[in-house]
Homo-oligomer: A and B are copies of this chain.
Amino acid sequence: FFHLGSKPGTSPKVCVLQDDKVYIAPSGVQKERIEPSHIFVLPYPQAEPSPLTDRIYLRRPKLNLKESACSPLFWNAFTIRNAGSCIHTHSQNAVMATLLWEKEKMFRISHQMIKGVRIGGHGPTLSYLDTLEVPIIDNTPNEEDLKDSMKKAMEKYPNAAGILVLRQGIYVWADDWQKAKTQTEAKSLMISVSREIGVKMKLAGLPTVLDE
């Protein structure tokens, strides 16, 4: 599961919640080299992890590995959206989208192939006629510090299927751990493709949302 397709070195970070256990990949290990023994396993639920407090582990890697800094943000997806998995990438189209839609603080695109994206990540799927909206929050020097602003954005925009971080990347989640990989991959991909075409359209001077 931790080997999602992306360019080497720009590995997406992935987190899975399954049977009251949270599986988190280590930070700074290249995707291709992650082995099962590198994965952090935490009990769930537990008090929300913060960069400052102790966390309870069911298993930690024996190697001196650092847990992904995204953990608190993945926790948002679990507690606020009841997600079964969450994925984080630094894709260039995500970064470009946050820059091109910086003023609006919201990436918006309509009339595209977004059928597989679910409202809020767990509701009914979007239709061709709907508008995909992904809020953009400001970045901070440390990823952990995004926890609160991500939470606020998720609560303010309950229909959002992901959260973009200015100049940094995107968080996308899926609600169903049984199909977590396929769903997360597919949603992540669909949003990613929308973003890519959105960036191309914006740069070509085309409106990305109709009827405005």
Q: How many copies does the complex hold?
A: 4
The yes or no answer to A58 lying at the interface (CB within 8 A) is no
Bound CA span A91–B91, Å: 19
Are A92 and B128 closer than 8 Å at their CB atoms? no
Bound CA span A175–B128, Å: 31
Bound CA span A11–B18, Å: 29
The yes or no answer to A82 lying at the interface (CB within 8 A) is no
Are A9 and B128 closer than 8 Å at their CB atoms? no
Closest beta carbon of chain B to A31's beta carbon, Å: 13
Knowing A141-B129, A186-B9, A206-B99, the reply to whether A111 touches B167 (Cβ < 8 A) is yes
Bound CA span A95–B203, Å: 15
Residue ID in chain B nearest A92 by CB atoms: B197
Knowing A9-B185, A112-B167, the reply to whether A193 touches B128 (Cβ < 8 A) is no
Are B167 and A141 closer than 8 Å at their CB atoms? no
Mind listing 6 A-B residue pairs with CB under 8 Å? Answer: A92-B193, A95-B197, A99-B204, A128-B139, A128-B167, A128-B168
